[in-house]
């Protein structure tokens, strides 16, 4: 796997939390950031993730019939 260097700006509070998590888990800060970013973009890529596990009482009444509209904003996906 090729590794690219990226520069990001984070708050002082987030930096402290990142340092603490890296120290507690024995990983580098870069490894923690890569893992968190990978998890975020994986879930952000698939709108289906937003409705997985919805209880019938939580979701719209017509979710089954109109799932494409809720997932993709259209009737045909």
* Per-residue pLDDT reduced to its tens digit, 14-67: 999 999 999 999 999 999 999 999 888 876 666 666 666 666 566 677 877 887
pLDDT of residue 11: 96
Sequence-distant (≥ 6) Cβ neighbours of residue 75 within 8 angstroms: 66, 68, 69
57 three-class SS? coil
pLDDT of residue 54: 61
The model carries a pTM of: 0.56
Over 60: is that where the pLDDT of 8 sits? yes
């Amino acid at each position: 796997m090729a590794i690219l260097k990226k520069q990001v700006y984070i708050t002082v509070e987030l930096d402290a939390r990142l340092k603490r998590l890296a120290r507690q888990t024995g990983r580098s800060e870069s490894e923690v950031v890569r893992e968190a970013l990978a998890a975020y973009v994986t879930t952000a890529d698939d709108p289906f993730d937003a409705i997985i596990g919805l209880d019938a009482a939580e979701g719209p009444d017509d979710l089954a019939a109109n799932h494409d509209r809720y997932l993709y904003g259209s009737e045909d996906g």
